[in-house]
Amino acid sequence: KKSLVWLRRDLRLHDHYALSESLKNSDETYVAFIFDSNILEKLHNKNDSRVTFIMDSLKEIESVLNKHGSSLIVRYGNPVEEIPKIIEDFKIEALFFNRDYEPYAKERDQKVEKDLFKKGIHVFNYKDHVFFEKKEVLNGQQEIYKVFTPYKNKWLEIFHAQESRVPEYKGDLKKLAPYKNSKNILEHNWYYDICFVETESALKGGALEAQRRLKDFKNRIEDYKTARDVPSIDGTSLLSPYIRMGNLSIRDMIRASIEKKSEGHQTWLSEIIWRDFYQMILDAYPGVDTHCFRTEYDQIKWLGKKEDFEKWCNGETGYPLVDAAMRCLNTTGMMHNRLRMVVASFLTKTLLIDWRWGERYFAEKLLDYDMAANNGGWQWSASTGVDAQPYFRIFNPYNQSEKFDPKGDYIKMWCPELAGFSSKTIHHPHDSTPLEQAAAGCFVGKDYPHPIVAYKEQRERALSMYKAVK
């Protein structure tokens, strides 16, 4: 029997549920990847570094397949049309893939399944991308959790009840189909001609690089609990783009998180559970994609100004920590978790701008962009989401700066014009005296902007904006 494994956001050949099942149950397994034109045509930049990251991953997969006498089938187009074409071209009898919980992906996969079913092709899909799915972690009333801590406790209870067993899905690659792609993606970058310009990616994609980084993080994981809140150091794993594209499996991460019982390990596992939580929420409530989870907040009259949004995007708000974080995002496609919370809170509760604008901007820029985590993070910060912080809890950007970047090390990395300020003045340089500004070699209003809004006044406006819909 000939089968096809359709790779999507699981760009690896190890610990891959659909692949291992196909290898076990078929005589010959083909592997395919479709550059989805529905997604790619919506991208703003034709030189999006996420595509380069995907290419790194595909090239690595291709070289492993080549070693086993096989090749990756690569197409560009609408998967709803391309998958049936591949099935026909290669006389495939069964399709295997791992489930994806984003609304677009679910609709696409249903269409493919329906079409293939009519043609008598078997379709098998698997839970691979999360550890527990929607219906596996339920409360006493058999409903899904809408608050994280009880969800996490239940998640851990089920996990420990199965003796913390983390399956590893292996398969015999000798059973890959003998095949040579005439448009070998390693030799000829034909896809660039169609849609993309080659760019430098801030990070190299691929399972090898992912494993290297995971190994490196294991040396630091014990310090994670304290180090994870300091943006100026590499205190977190920086693995999110790799788990996003599936260069790592979620089980790779969970295995690493239970190797020891330190506080660092446990805290890291807790973050991974947040990931499952938000995937589950998006799966159960696909409407959060465009609507507030707490529907009453859809009535908010956002008072902010478009020009302030642009200044936020460009890192020109006059709030040093916010500006540093946004400039980092614009340059690297990455942003530290603490700073994501700071800039999201700043956009919604200080600039009074709809969270959806910020969410879309992150979606365009983040190398690890993941709809479930991004939407969850934004709605948490805007207090409109599931288990969000209460609306009256508003991050003070100055306090956040003093607390998490006390010496201004992070600010100096991304706002070099502020490097001459002391650790006392760098968080609010506009409050410094002309003499201090002269000594720092930076005049506020000339070399660095004045704050575009006054935090205290905006805080009051935010409170009444939210109160109005309560």
Bind-site residues for FAD:
224, 236-240, 268, 271-278, 368-370
Candidate residues 131, 145, 196, 278; the one interacting with ligand FAD per rule CB under 6 A = 278
Measured from the CB atom, the residue of 208 and 233 that comes closer to ligand FAD is 233
Residue 36 binds ligand FAD (CB under 6 A):
no
Sign of the torsion formed by the C-alpha atoms of 23, 26, 27 and 31: negative
d(CA 50, CA 241): 9
Task: Write the binding mask 224 to 253 for ligand FAD: x where contact by CB under 6 A, - elsewhere.
Answer: ----x-------xxxxx--xx---------
Candidate residues 377, 385, 429, 451; the one interacting with ligand FAD per rule CB under 6 A = 377
Residue 274 binds ligand FAD (CB under 6 A):
yes
d(CA 146, CA 134): 12
**Phi, psi torsion values for 73, nearest 5 degrees:** -85, 120
Around Cβ 242, how many Cβ atoms within 10 Å?
A: 28
Residue 404 binds ligand FAD (CB under 6 A):
no
Task: Write the binding mask 325 to 364 for ligand FAD: x where contact by CB under 6 A, - elsewhere.
Answer: ------------x--xx--x-----------------x--
What minimum distance in Å lies between the beta carbon of 156 and ligand FAD?
15
d(CA 84, CA 368): 30
Q: Return the closest-CA partner of residue 315 out of 331, 304, 326, 330.
A: 326
Q: Which stretch binds ligand FAD (CB under 6 A): 164-172, 201-209, 267-275, 305-313?
A: 267-275
Residue 304 in tokens:
């902010």
Candidate residues 368, 385, 428, 453; the one interacting with ligand FAD per rule CB under 6 A = 368
What minimum distance in Å lies between the beta carbon of 367 and ligand FAD?
9
Strand, coil or helix: what is 124?
strand
Candidate residues 123, 203, 373, 426; the one interacting with ligand FAD per rule CB under 6 A = 373
Which residues are known to be catalytic? 271, 274, 302, 337, 355, 378
What minimum distance in Å lies between the beta carbon of 74 and ligand FAD?
26
Around Cβ 126, how many Cβ atoms within 10 Å?
A: 18
List, as residue ranges, the binding site. Answer: 224, 236-240, 268, 271-278, 368-370
Measured from the CB atom, the residue of 3 and 57 that comes closer to ligand FAD is 57
Residue 51 binds ligand FAD (CB under 6 A):
no
CB neighbour list of residue 85: distance below 8 Å, 6 or more residues apart: 75
Residue 367 binds ligand FAD (CB under 6 A):
no
Measured from the CB atom, the residue of 99 and 365 that comes closer to ligand FAD is 365
CB 129 within 8 A of CB 245: no
Residue 426 binds ligand FAD (CB under 6 A):
no
What minimum distance in Å lies between the beta carbon of 280 and ligand FAD?
11
What minimum distance in Å lies between the beta carbon of 348 and ligand FAD?
10
d(CA 32, CA 75): 8
What minimum distance in Å lies between the beta carbon of 333 and ligand FAD?
11
Q: What is the DSSP letter of 142?
A: S
Measured from the CB atom, the residue of 275 and 412 that comes closer to ligand FAD is 275
Applying CB under 6 A, the site for ligand FAD has a residue count of 28
Q: What is the DSSP letter of 295?
A: G
Residue 272 binds ligand FAD (CB under 6 A):
yes
Candidate residues 366, 386, 388, 415; the one interacting with ligand FAD per rule CB under 6 A = 366
Q: Return the closest-CA partner of residue 382 out of 391, 374, 392, 373.
A: 391
Q: Which stretch binds ligand FAD (CB under 6 A): 319-327, 373-381, 403-411, 419-427?
A: 373-381
Measured from the CB atom, the residue of 113 and 271 that comes closer to ligand FAD is 271
Terminal CA-to-CA distance of the chain, rounded, Å?
A: 60
- CA angle, 304 then 305 then 308, to 5°: 105
Torsion of CA 253, 258, 262, 265, to 10 degrees: 20
CB neighbour list of residue 425: distance below 8 Å, 6 or more residues apart: 431, 432, 436, 440
Around Cβ 293, how many Cβ atoms within 10 Å?
A: 20
Residue 367 in tokens:
């190398």
CB 241 within 8 A of CB 209: no
Binding footprint of ligand FAD on the chain (CB under 6 A): 228, 236-240, 243-244, 271-272, 274-275, 278, 337, 340-341, 344, 362, 366, 368-370, 373-374, 376-378, 381
